[in-house]
Chains A and B, each alone.
Chain A
Amino acid sequence: MDSREDDGGEPLSRMAEWRDVTPLPQDDGPHPVVPIAYKEEFRETMDYFRAIYKADERSPRALRLTRRAIHLNPGNYTVWHFRRLVLEALNADLDEELDFLQRIANSNSKNYQLWHHRRWVVERLGANAGAKELNLIKKILSLDAKNYHAWSHRQWVLQALGGWEDELDYCQQLLEEDIFNNSAWNQRYFVVTRSPFLGGLKAMRASEVRYTVEAILANPNNECPWRYLRGLYKDDIKALVNDPEISSVCLKVINTKNNYVFALKMLLDLLCHGFQPCHEFRDSVVALRTSQPDPLDPDLSMAICDILEHVDSLRASYWIWRKNKLSVAAV
């Protein structure tokens, strides 16, 4: 990160501009415990910052000083806070401020202070800043497509300033790059359920189910589309059970005898909610247990729990619990 941007990184004590300021050293007390061995540049910058802060000087040179301090420690929220006061006092160009933030964004992409400051700036710029901001966030997500801060900020921008029109396409693009990106799946759900341009979940359901089924068939071991599929039926479990596409994708995956764990889990949920399987389902599940000598449980749900207890052994206790719950319900 370049800290030399504005003043060449020269020591402040040697700059004419700062001659009138007496730097204020940090007071660690008489017997400091675990004192930090600050580098000279850091110590000096913060000594001058403390002086300016104490004097409450909200000037252009104060603004430059906060930039220098931020480069040295972008986690110092005092400096960020004071920078906001100075920006306001100077009625500074906030588009330039966004440019500054973007330049340091890549090396500070998980810094809470930076994201908070960014939101503060965008709030003041208003609706016109929306499109540019969405573009800037894209750049950060192109380096880390799961950055939680970036996604939270993006959701805020969409809700506060709009820009929903292209968001579904953006999710599509990210999922083409990495179908395992849970954040992109989450954003897809966010758009489908909240975009004022798409007609809502029910209207989108059929096309989204088709999309998700395709994703599942390509990678049945991918946790994300299975969860997304369930989410498409939000409060409408009956519709989930009755949609032949859902039970059909479970059957298809189980028949491949490969990566079928999530398919079995979904089938179990369908059965628990009243799904009436045809014999094909039982035949396919039976076909999974070629190495087991003992016969499969006559109840298909119980049989699935037995299988999962073995093939998803990390969660064996969970599957035993599920099976017990079934027996209790059956009584």
Chain B
Amino acid sequence: MAELAVDKHVKYILAVEKNKDSFESVVMDHLRMNGAYWGLTALDLLGKLDSVNVDEVISWILKCQHESGGFSGNIGHDPHILYTLSAVQVLALFNKLDVLDIDKAVSYILSCKNLDGGFGCTPGGESHAGQIFCCVGALALTGSLHYVDKDLLGWWLCERQVKSGGLNGRPEKLPDVCYSWWVLSSLIMIDRVHWIDKEKLVKFILDCQDVENGGISDRPDDAVDVYHTYFGVAGLSLLNYPGLKAIDPAYALPVDVVNRIFFSG
């Protein structure tokens, strides 16, 4: 049986990180902040986070923070919630959240908060469950959840559940299995997951399965894909479906992996 080629992967990831002008590094140009998160998390999972020059990474991340407090995907790009979450995740991996101007980053996130308690992508943007996950996740990781009106947001989130038991991402839209993740993990992070009907949601997810060929789709009877299969299984794990490993709602990684990252020095 093939083994995981750990050294090869470390070499590949480090090469990407070091050669800032190389072909490969440009591959992730405007998603560089996400790329950093994926690469560094992978390195850490492989037990090799110390192969990276921490100071260089930190200094580059801080160059991506804007006046508003938000982070962009790379130097010279605009701040955006997606990259702000990644920046926070990377700094958390390095246990360097203290270098962040947390107040500024948090205030950028809060500027995306809407009256309904939800969050949009940018100030004024429509509240959307995916954006809410990013914002609540970043606030959770920086110890800033007290800025969230948990009752108000919790209610907006539990209103995503429709008759079929599935969850949508915005008012008056169709349910989709991937929202079993975005909405559910958000509810867990603000301690309001008991406000939805868990049994009905489990049933909805199971109805989205292709029991003959395997895989899960966005809603019952649609074609399956790996993206919805992941979110369906992750959602079921959050719902404590028997036989599944526990998953961390903020990191979207198995809990034992997160524990290993943080508690094995």
Contacts and interface: CB of A to CB of B under 8 A. Distances in A.
Instruction: Tell me, yes or no, whether A binds B.
Output: yes
B39 to A, nearest CB: 15
Contacts of A317: 194-196
Given A152-B122, A315-B195, A77 B161 contact: no
Interface in B179-212: 194-197, 200
A48 interface: no
B66 interface: no
Interface stretch (A60-68, A181-189, A209-217, A275-283): A181-189
A50 interface: yes
B200 A314 contact: yes
Interface string A217-256: 0000011100100110010000000000000000000000
Given A50-B23, A77-B28, A151 B125 contact: yes
Interface in B157-196: 158-159, 161, 163, 165, 170-173, 194-196
A151 B194 contact: no
B254 interface: no
Interface in A288-331: 313-318, 321
B121 A152 contact: yes
Given A148-B128, A190-B124, A77 B173 contact: no
A264 B8 CA distance: 61
Interface in A82-118: 82, 113, 116
Nearest to B116: A227
Contacts of B1: none
Nearest to A187: B126
Given A152-B125, A182-B173, A227-B116, A77 B197 contact: no
A223 B171 contact: yes
Contact of A223 (B29, B31, B122, B159): B159
Contact of B172 (A29, A50, A224): A224
A193 to B, nearest CB: 8
Interface residues of A, number: 39
A78 B120 CA distance: 28
A222 B173 CA distance: 11
Nearest to B197: A314
A321 B195 contact: yes
A231 B113 CA distance: 13
Contact of A78 (B8, B29, B115): B29
Dominant secondary structure at the B interface: loop
Contacts of A146: 170, 173
Contacts of B245: none
Nearest to A159: B124
Contacts of A164: none
A155 interface: yes
A14 interface: no
A113 B27 CA distance: 12
Nearest to B77: A116
B124 A313 contact: no
B6 interface: no
Contacts of B159: 223, 315
Nearest to B155: A318
A156 B165 CA distance: 36
A155 B170 contact: no
Contacts of B173: 146, 182
A78 B125 contact: no
9 contacts: A53-B23, A78-B29, A148-B125, A151-B126, A223-B171, A230-B115, A234-B115, A315-B158, A321-B195
The 4 closest A-B CB pairs, nearest first, are A186-B126, A223-B171, A180-B172, A318-B195
Given A78-B27, A81-B30, 19 more contacts: A53-B23, A54-B23, A78-B26, A148-B121, A148-B126, A151-B126, A152-B121, A155-B122, A155-B125, A182-B170, A182-B172, A224-B171, A224-B172, A227-B171, A231-B116, A314-B161, A314-B163, A318-B195, A321-B195
